[in-house]
Amino acid sequence: MRVLVVEDSVELLEIVAQGLREQGFAVDEAQDGAQALEMIAVNRYEVVVLDRDLPVVHGDDVCRALVAEWGSAAGGSGAAGGHTKVLMLTAASTIDDRVAGLNLGADDYLPKPFAFAELVARIQALGRRAQPALPPVLTHGDVTVDTARRTASRAGRALALTGKEFGMLQVLLGARGAVVTSEELLERVWDAHTDPFTNTVRTTLSRLRRKLGEPELIETVTGAGYRVR
């Protein structure tokens, strides 16, 4: 899952971003609202963790811009699914503040200070809503991926996968046989610091194939991308 964390406190931003990376998320960072809008314009995120009190462009305005974009993409229908979810953070914790944030179009609201475990749980819940509905446990033949527990196995054998290998397998199984391009894998599993011209996807896929073993699960579709057999 790809997440954008927008927070003007550099210390908090680094702590949250690093913690989320350790949980297997692909994380980008922004320190003000203008930078956040620039990144949202060129990247697709399942979840944006948005501090409300931001410099340059206020968090409320960033949220309004995202909501306006969703409405435009849905032909003005305001469709509830299939778009980036916003988890708004703020030091204000009154009921009125929470209601105001949700009325802006935020999908969830978390007052500071917060427990990191709760932040992770809320991001995971929003991420599931941001994508087409998939079961919490993905299976394909003898391969099983438990997205909640972040475990994978084949024929009952536990697979020791890195975060990127797990993310790649999850995306490919979630595509249900459809071709997934290298660009989409980069977008869904890696973050903005990854050079799109490197062989990162190919190298990670090679390691994943070795760990999955035989018979080969993932095939290369020449000139298109990859898919599960």
Residue 114 and residue 193 in one domain: no
The Cα–Cα gap between 155 and 197 comes to 35
- For 45, residues 6+ apart whose C-beta sits below 8 A from its C-beta are 2, 3, 4, 28, 84
Question: Number of structural domains, the chain?
Answer: 2
Domain of residue 141 covers: 137-228
Q: Give the residue, 90 or 118, on which the prediction is more confident.
A: 118
The 10s digit of each residue's pLDDT in 152-161 is: 999 999 999 9
Is residue 95 predicted with pLDDT exceeding 90? no
- How many CB atoms are closer than 10 A to CB 6? 28
The per-residue pLDDT of the chain, averaged, comes to 85
Inform me whether the pLDDT recorded for 76 exceeds 50.
no
The SS3 call for residue 10 is helix
Domain ends where: 130, 145, 173? 130
Instruction: Reply yes or no on whether the pLDDT at 98 is more than 80.
Output: no
Residue 89 sits in the same domain as residue 107: yes
Q: Is the pLDDT of residue 71 over 60?
A: no
Question: What does the pLDDT average to over 91-115?
Answer: 79
Query: What CATH number does the domain containing 179 carry?
Result: 1.10.10.10
